[in-house]
Amino acid sequence: MNKYHAKKVLLYGETFDSRKEGERWLVLHYMEKNGEIRDLRRQVKFELVPAYPAEGLRALTYIADFVYTLGGKTVIEDVKGYKKGAAYELFTAKKKMLYFRYGLLVQEV
């Protein structure tokens, strides 16, 4: 269990951070099988700020819960249950950086 009381879930051999995330995966997986979406991927990493090893600074990244293609456009989804606190504020900042760097919006589910 994590600090937001979400329990990891195992579905069809895949581990998800929460029941809500696992349920969303099932919906998206079904949509992909029916041809509604394409190229469904999980836990996709985006580099927001590169690393500066000489200064001892690691890269800043955002890991999307789900990325897929719908109508020729890339869709990024992040499953959120708890929308308060420092972790959510960090997510909000990273969401803005992702848009600034790649022109991609994150949809909260």
Give the chain's mean pLDDT: 93
Look at the block and give the residue holding tokens 């051999």. Answer: 13
Residues 43, 76: Cα–Cα separation, whole Å: 10
Can you give the pLDDT at residue 1?
Answer: 47
Q: β-pairing, 106-108 with 14-16?
A: unpaired
CA dihedral 95, 41, 78, 96 (to 10 degrees): 10
Can you give the pLDDT at residue 81?
Answer: 83
Q: What is the pLDDT of residues 66-76, one digit of tens each?
A: 999 999 999 99
Q: What is the pLDDT of residues 35-49, one digit of tens each?
A: 999 999 999 999 999
Can you give the pLDDT at residue 60?
Answer: 97
Taking residues 77-106, report their average pLDDT.
94
